[in-house]
Amino acid sequence: MGTEARECVPEQPVRRRWARGREWGPLTALTVGVLVGAGLWLAGRRAAADWLWAAATVAALAPAAWSTLRRLWHRQFGVDVIAVLALAGALVVREYLAGAVIALMLATGRALEAYAQRRATRDLRALLERAPRSARRRRPGGGIETVPLDRVAVGDRLVVGPGDVVPVDGTVEEAATLDESVVTGESQLVARAAGEPVASGVVNAGAGFGLRATKSAAASTYAGIVRLAEEATAHKAPMVRMADRYAAAFVPFTLVVAGLGWLLSGEFVRAVAVLVVATPCPLLLATPIAIVSGLSRAARRGVLVRDGGSLELLGRARTLLVDKTGTLTAGRPRAAETVVAPGGDRDEVLRLAASVEQLSPHVLAAALVRQARDRGLPLAEPTGVTEEPGRGVSGRIDGRLVRVGQLDGELPQWAAGAAERAELAGRSVVWVSDERGPLGAILLEDPVRPDARRTVRRLREAGLTRLVMVTGDRQATAEQVARAVGVDDLLARCSPQEKADRVRQEAERAVTVMVGDGVNDAPALAEAHVGVAMGATGATASAGVADAVLTVDRLDRLADAVEIARHARRIATQSAVVGMGLAVAAMLVAAAGKLPPVAGAFLQEGIDVVVILNALRALGGGLRRRDVPAATGELLDRYAGEHGGIRDVLADLRDTADLVATHPDSPDCVPALREVHRRLVGQVLPHEAAEEQHLYPALAGPLGGDEATSTMSRGHVEIRRLVDGIGGHLAQAGAGPPRPDQVTDLLATLYGLDAVLRLHLAQEEEDYFSLRD
């Protein structure tokens, strides 16, 4: 954070003390007035006591009456008129103590509301207070200057010191350690390597580092979050004035009860007593406290909701429409499999492709380069690089011409098989070839998020009854994803306008939520009752029209937000119903002459305090998710990281199975079998055994018992059996190729192990690894 931001920090405690003084000052003055009046009354100076209590009543009546008149002038009729009538009635019947207690009650309610709202919105305020106002920029000729944030331009080289807030979106120029909790809700420190993107608003938790700006301050991630936070703190929840919607019935009911009490008894004081206990503070105060508390909790979970109205609608939602790419799927392709020509080297094919693609801006190129670097492959600098739009990239690597992209002409048998496999799996194919022909094929996929299916289940448990996936992707690929995550319906190959039309149709039948991440989702988000943008992916256009933004790239936080919204709405309604129910009961007792105005005022004060404290329960509870201990989380991270290596073994396993199926007599067959068996025994089985010994017992607590992991343990047994089966066939084959009578069972074992192991990894990632925050 720059110097300008730091200079503002000392002012914050001063402003907070001033705000607290304004909140609690009237309550303190009224409390002193009531107590002094009580002392005067006990001392026999009753006239002075009545004068002091009357002054307190007038002090509360004047602003309340002015506010009510202004609302009536604007044709807004609310139940706060009851408070005005109660104060005026107390003065008319000279129940000055009752009037003073009513005034004290209103001041107490306002102070408690201000306190609760300040506590509930402290996470949103923290976002606003942490917003950087300046940045350190490197001068072209050397040195560092501090400049206002709005003067930072794309391409500027900045310096982020220890403890500073990253001022704009950019890429780090050297390794950095960051605290992203304010933006994403993630508590662990994150390490970013040179060249990786960093969002503004995160905090530098390590040594200083260089940052190259990729967006201006206004277009950066944190600026959008701050705008949402400002709107969230500026808007009142709809239930703040929920009482107004019932004013047409409640105010006449109150006046009828008060009038009957007066008419039947002839005592106007009974009407005043009814008005005193009818003051609807539970609706005016308790319900907005619950809603604002929900806003705060959602922000802590990485979901910024624009206002209380959006949160309240989220709590009533029944239909969810969700875009596929970037929402149910990761949104960026990854190399799922590399298929090579007979005798080829998988790592070499990937290295050549990534080396050529280093200079390409295409998203598929970035996926290849990222995959190669993750595998630790040394990339060479390409020369003579040319790119033909729609066809691919070519360049020389170590003097060798390499082409990456589409492939012309008739495909060899192995390549045709790879193309068919990609088509069946809904994957894209990038061909790698040289002057002699194709060297291999890299199959790219946009993987389903590991937490997607679990999130869908949680959303159903939270009350969403209809889930629809909308996507511009082809039907076959969309159907695969829809089956994987468990949605009710899908709309494939749809344009942005068709998405918006479908959202509009669904919104006519039920309260509807739309989730998307791209610019093309913005029209659909605007049509939904609640539009939710995946803001962590940088979708600034969709975030601009959304009612809520996920600031962390995790879909399960949407389920958290829905559960929080329902919990807050339930408590808000409960506070209103219980508080008003008690008030109506007290009104009937007062009309019968059994509750004088003074006692009624104290009773109403007690009711208000009870329902406001109940509303504060919205700050906790309501989440179905299970938090895992820190030690268990570390185990999940460790074993999740090992899955990449196991998928490499799976690729070798599939290649070996294909070799046995097509050329069982090849001299390469047995060496390939022995190599894959060696990797299975040396890498896969130790991983499964370690999970069984360390991870699964640690998960018993969060998952509710050992039975939750019993089926996965059975999977380990089956994997061990199939690996042992491969070893048995190798022992029988000896040094020669597999006997003809062995081939059928050997193929069943190889392909069976491939299927079981893939399913096992997917289940672990969905059921266990998605528990990790």
Q: Which residues belong to the active site?
A: 323
DSSP H helices, 618-709, are 630-662, 669-679, 685-690, 696-703
CA angle 466–708–720, rounded 5-degree value: 115
Strands 489-491, 466-470: pairing kind? parallel
DSSP 365-428: HHHHHHHHHHTT--PPPPEEEEEETTTEEEEEETTEEEEEE---SPPPHHHHHHHHHHHHHT-E
Write out the two tokens for 761.
Answer: 């990894």
> What is the sign, positive or negative, of the torsion defined by CA atoms of 188, 192, 197, 201?
positive
A 10 A CB-CB count for 97 gives 24
Residue 303 forms beta bridges with which residues? 550
What is the rounded CA–CA span in Å between residue 330 and residue 675? 33
Write out the two tokens for 714.
Answer: 């059975």
- Structural contact between residues 217 and 150, judged by C-beta atoms closer than 8 angstroms: yes
Burial class of residue 266, CB neighbours in 10 A (0-12, 13-18, 19+)? exposed
A 10 A CB-CB count for 4 gives 15
Strands 512-516, 530-533: pairing kind? parallel
Q: CA-CA-CA-CA torsion for 54, 55, 56, 61, nearest 10 degrees?
A: 90
Burial class of residue 413, CB neighbours in 10 A (0-12, 13-18, 19+)? exposed
The closest alpha carbon to 599, from 590, 608, 610, 591, belongs to 590
- Structural contact between residues 287 and 116, judged by C-beta atoms closer than 8 angstroms: no
What is the rounded CA–CA span in Å between residue 685 and residue 633? 22
